[in-house]
Amino acid sequence: MYETIKYQVSENIGYVTINRPKAMNALNGQVLDELYAAFTEAAADEQVKAVILTGEGKAFVAGADIAQMNQLDAIEGRALIAKGHKVMNYMESIEKPFIAAVNGFALGGGCELAMACDIRIASEKAKFGQPEVNLGIIPGFGGTQRLPRLVGKGMAKYMIMTAEMIGAEEACRIGLVEKVVAPEELIPACEKLAQTIMSKAPIAIGIAKTTINNGYDLDMRAASALEIEAFASTFASQDKTEGMTAFLEKKEAKFQNK
């Protein structure tokens, strides 16, 4: 079904692997289309509770496909970038958690794809950067917007304006990734994280993700109002009754969708 990615489901985890190792998993129109299709499939599959996204070979995603982009005019370039935004915005709209397993180079569009995930775990070999100004362009898959939200405006400007590539430890220090592990521990660490999240109330996990994303850019008063309504909605779920009853009875909760 897919030519540029691999998708499989195991033990309630959807594994999406970008599979263009000879091109360092560079993003082109086909990859973006197939990522959107795989994410749509994962969103609709009740068996999938979390998604792990990674790359085949030495790279997570080393950037957009420059050979393709070099042939595009402004109108065609806008269409490609809009397609990338569609994919990454969709990732954020899905209530299921997305975990980026950053195995190697995450540059340009690769860094932006990782930033669209909810949590990023990096191999010690991972490298991050937004090198677009070297090519006469700017980040276009959300980098000018998600990067400052993660690392702050000053650091985002530094990374984008210098095109400097940073290692995994520095990425963790500035808040671009949440954890750094040895290469051989990357997928197991992401699976352990997914399993931990999946052991919690699934309705609450989805509502928490949505509330964080939707409230991030609001002023505190509006964000607080959003949280009040989101919190109240969890009281209408069976998971709330199960979780609180189990806590009071000192037993393990058995949530509906586990």
pLDDT for the residue 67: 85
What's the rounded Cα separation, in Å, for the pair 112 and 106?
Answer: 8
Q: Check if 132 is active-site.
A: yes
| CATH (one of 3.40.50.1000, 3.40.50.720, 3.20.20.30, 1.10.12.10) for 202-248 | 1.10.12.10
**5-198 classified as CATH 3.20.180.10:** no
Kindly indicate the confidence band of residue 258, based on its pLDDT and cuts at 50, 70 and 90: very low
Q: Could you tell me the residue ranges of all domains in the chain?
A: 5-198, 202-248
pLDDT of residue 68: 85
The residue annotated as part of the active site, out of 34, 56, 92, 112, is: 112
Lowest mean pLDDT among 24-28, 54-58, 61-65, 93-97: 61-65
pTM, rounded to two decimals: 0.95
What's the whole-number mean pLDDT along residues 140-151? Answer: 97
Sheet with 166-167: strands ordered across:
59-61, 105-107, 127-129, 166-167
Find the distance separating the first CA and the last CA of the chain, reported in whole Å.
Answer: 28
**How far apart are the C-alpha atoms of 227 and 208, rounded to whole Å?**
9
Q: Find the catalytic residue in 92, 132, 185, 227.
A: 132
Per-residue pLDDT, averaged over 89-98, amounts to 97
Question: Comparing C-alpha atoms, which of 135, 109, 132 is closest to residue 55?
Answer: 109
Instruction: Quote the CA–CA distance of 17 and 52 in Å, as a whole number.
Output: 8
State residue 257's pLDDT score: 59
Taking only the tens place, the pLDDT of each residue in 35-76 is 999 999 999 999 999 999 999 999 999 998 888 888 989 999
127 CB neighbour count, 10 Å cutoff: 22
Q: Which two tokens stand for residue 17?
A: 């692997």
Q: Which residue has the tokens 């362009």?
A: 137
